[in-house]
Structure 1
Amino acid sequence: MGDTHTTTSRMTPRATSQSAADGRPAQRLQKPSWKDGRLIAGVLLVILAMLAGALTLKQFDSSVEVLRAKRTLLPGDSVAASDLEVVKVRIDNGRKGYFGTGKKPTGTVLREVREGELVPTSAIGSAGEVNAKSIGLPVAGSQATALVRGSVVDVWVARRTPGSTGTNDFQRPTKEVQRATVHRVPTSGSGLGVSSGGDQVYVLVPDAKVATIIESVNGGAKVTLIPAAGSPMKGN
């Protein structure tokens, strides 16, 4: 067996030399060519898989484009294009009940739409449909400076005691309006100040309470605005 191993180890160099002598070059790996049908088929399969995945995602994507308020819209406001922006969101039943990009809202705001909220179609209508009025209420300056447009307040009224002549003769205050929205607050140079030394804050008062509030203010009643829990305030 030892002779057999010796013979084999000597044949290998001779075989190699013989290939070289015959002029046959050694085989080498070649780079794939675009003319290679297998490479082209592989690339096409990858592209088709990507397209199929994209179409599947698009089919199951329920996102729609709707309009969102860029600022708080209050009853009585006129809607302008600058008040709105387009956002893409997912909503059950599509954009039903909300304004899409194909239908720009025009008219008057009927109910409050907070900044960042989607604009429902039911919130926009005609001026005659608004069921609240913006009424200027004289309040202490400290109250006015803490409020902002969109603040939510309860309106408390303390009427003057009948037949009294004192400056501080008021009856027990009563809550006349609950969760009213502040429509406008005094600003420097706005001219909204009143002679009593206070400021006028314009509050949206329901139609059913307008006459009562005006009568109380004209009768010298003391008005206090109490912010509701979670109401937007200056500085937050």
Structure 2
Amino acid sequence: MKRPSWKDPRLLVGVLLVLASVAGVISLVGSADRTTEVYAARDAIAVGEALTQDNVVRAKVRLGDTEQHYFTVEGGLPEGAVAVQRIGKDQLVPRESLGTADALDRKPVAVTVEQVLPNQAVAGTRVDVWVALPDTKNGYNEPKLLLPNAEIAQVTSGSTALGSSRSTVLMVLVSDSQMPALLGAQANQAKIAVVWNPGGAAS
């Protein structure tokens, strides 16, 4: 048997295969480690809130094939964009969550309630809004479900005019078709009750 020389075709083929394998591994690792700089919410961004450099932060993430669904820092934020869906704190800003103000199909309306709400009733969760209209005997009619599964945009504490009792102000998202009924109930001094809906979609 002869000792193989550097001119042996089999040895050259083996060396080429090893080099090709190493190059492939380096390329694969490099592509897997590629990060993209995108935007994330600094704090929770409510529906209708404009997106600016003040309420977002930059985040380097590996998105792979999903990069097209997010706004990259390189591309920048679209001018005049508002949130059409709630974006949670530290959540990446997806393209589907942004739109224009005139494209909003739900608008925040303040609803004041005197009842104590459960701790789970926070922004992004759902509630059922019930109203009882005044009757002709200085009382109220039977409550009716006016806004089923309405999303809470914001929760703040309030007080009565005399400051003797506490109240809660909910900003709930209302569609244009539901708006007249809610505004009419408020104008007619209806009693409004809000019930947390644990089966509602959370965002």
Report the Cα offset of residue 176 of structure 1: 1.8
For the structure 1 residues 101 and 205, does the alpha-carbon distance in structure 2 shift closer, same or farther, using more than 3 Å as the test?
Answer: same
Whole-angstrom CA distance in 2 between matches of 1:55 and 1:72 = 38
Q: Secondary structure at the match of 2:68?
A: coil
Counterpart amino acid of residue 125 in structure 2: S
Q: Does 1:111 align with 2:85?
A: yes
Give the 5 Å matches for 1:42-53: 52=23, 53=25
Structure 1 segment 214-229 matched on structure 2, within 5 A: 214-229=183-198
Give the 3-state SS of the residue equivalent to 2:177 in structure 1. Answer: helix
2:99 maps to 125
Aligned length: 177
| TM-score normalised by structure 1 residue count | 0.62
Q: 1:56 to 1:224 in 2, by over 3 A?
A: same
Letter in 2 for 1:88: V
Hey, what's the Cα distance between the residues in 1 that align with 2:148 and 2:60? Answer: 33
Q: Contact between 1:185 and 1:202, CA under 8 Å: does it hold in 2?
A: yes
1:1-236 equivalences in 2 (<5 Å):
52=23, 53-61=25-33, 63-85=35-57, 86-92=59-65, 94-105=66-77, 106=79, 107-143=81-117, 147-161=121-135, 163-166=136-139, 169-171=140-142, 173-187=143-157, 192-195=158-161, 198-229=167-198
Between the aligned partners of 1:127 and 1:113, the Cα distance in structure 2 is 16
8 Å CA contact retained: 2:37, 2:74: no
In 2, the alpha carbon distance for the partners of 1:60 and 1:99 equals 20
Instruction: Identify if the C-alpha distance between structure 1 residues 70 and 215 changes in structure 2 by more than 3 Å, giving closer, same or farther.
Output: same
Residue 141 of structure 1, CA deviation: 4.5
Following TM superposition, by how much is the alpha carbon of 1:61 offset from its aligned partner in structure 2, in angstroms? 4.8
Shift of residue 142 of structure 1?
1.5
- Structure with larger Rg: 1
Deviations 1:18-77 (A, max 9, x none): xxxxxxxxxxxxxxxxxxxxxxxxxxxxxx99x844433113556543323233222111
Contact 1:66 1:89 survives alignment (8 Å): no
The amino acid of 1:117's aligned partner reads Q
Q: Kindly provide the amino acid, as one letter, of the partner of residue 110 in structure 2.
A: G
Q: Which amino acid aligns with 1:223?
A: I
Q: Which has the higher contact order (CA 8 A, sep 6+)?
A: 2
Point out the more displaced range, 71-80 or 143-152. 143-152
* CA gap 1:74/1:59 in 2 versus in 1, 3 angstroms: same
Q: Distance in 2 between matches of 1:104 and 1:154?
A: 38
Q: Which amino acid aligns with 2:138?
A: T
Name the CA shift for 1:199/1:117 in 2 (closer, same or farther; >3 Å): closer
C-alpha separation in 1, matches of 2:128 and 2:107: 16
3-state SS, counterpart of residue 95 of structure 1: helix
Higher strand share: 2
Q: Secondary structure at the match of 1:81?
A: coil
Say which structure is richer in helix: 1
The alignment-based identity, stated in percent, is 21
- Quote how far apart the aligned CAs of 1:139 are: 0.5
